Amino acid sequence: MPISAIDTLEGDRLGTKPLRYTDLFLKGRGRDMMTSEDMAILEDSVGDVLDIPARKIVVRRDERVRASTLLLEGVMCRYMDDRQGNRQIVAFHVPGDFVDLHGFAMRYLDHDIATLTPVRVAAVGHERLETIVQNRPRLTRLLWFSTLLDAAMHREWVFRLGRLEADGRVAHLFCELHARLTLVDMVRDGAFRFPVTQIDLAEAAGITPVHLNRVLRSLRERELMTFRSGEVRILDPEGLETLADFDPNYLFGGGPTMSEKGA
């Protein structure tokens, strides 16, 4: 069933609040620049925490957005449909990502946001973000940096779809996921969980599921990587990066440059 045909889900409210919801936000990419007070303020800004099943629309395009979503567990995506209902995934989101932080400034999104797996998310109301913007310039800059990371990844996705052949596109996608999940300590010995379907991957790579299957078989036979039952194993990182023309600098693993002055 196309994801666009699934009803929006409100989510099940959780009764208890764990100690930390925001530990993975900007982990490896600037979190160390947050003061303990910044961390506490961001943590206290979390309102509802929701468990949402797979294949549910969380935010519909052109609907008023009043809270931004921090992904705690699972995989989400942004996508757009053409007039025939064919979906193009334009971003994958992994734990630690503020999925729709740009909705704070834009108020409406030009795309849909949905879950691909069961997820847990934390909602930060825009009134809380407004307070942060007014009173916490350093934290505001880091939140802004988070939205700029999204823009950098979108540019790289445009490059991938426009300039790489199918095997390079898929290799680049898995190189990016490997790098992003490494930053949040979710890669072990070159392997990580990414339990999406081959249809999802095909819609992100701009190819058919049949073509995607051939590409995955080719990458496996060349001993570059494997994708089985939602587990990715990178066998030859350098070979995969060469095929993908992958340079991780656009992920800003070192975080932003911020001085005390004006921070």
**Helical (H) or strand (E) element with 155:** helix 137-163
Asked if residue 2 lies in contact with residue 53, where contact means CB atoms within 8 angstroms, the answer is no
Asked if residue 31 lies in contact with residue 68, where contact means CB atoms within 8 angstroms, the answer is no
What's the pLDDT at 257?
A: 72
Query: For the segment 125-163, what is each residue's pLDDT rounded down to a tens digit?
Result: 999 999 999 999 999 999 999 999 999 999 999 999 999
Least Cα distance to 91 among 80, 103, 107, 105 occurs for 80
CA count, 13 A, side-chain hemisphere, 206: 17
What's the pLDDT at 44?
A: 95
pTM above 0.75, yes or no: yes
Asked if residue 112 lies in contact with residue 80, where contact means CB atoms within 8 angstroms, the answer is yes
What's the pLDDT at 259?
A: 59
Residues of the chain below pLDDT 70: 1-19, 258-263
Instruction: Classify residue 95 by its DSSP letter.
Output: T
What's the pLDDT at 94?
A: 98
What's the pLDDT at 85?
A: 87
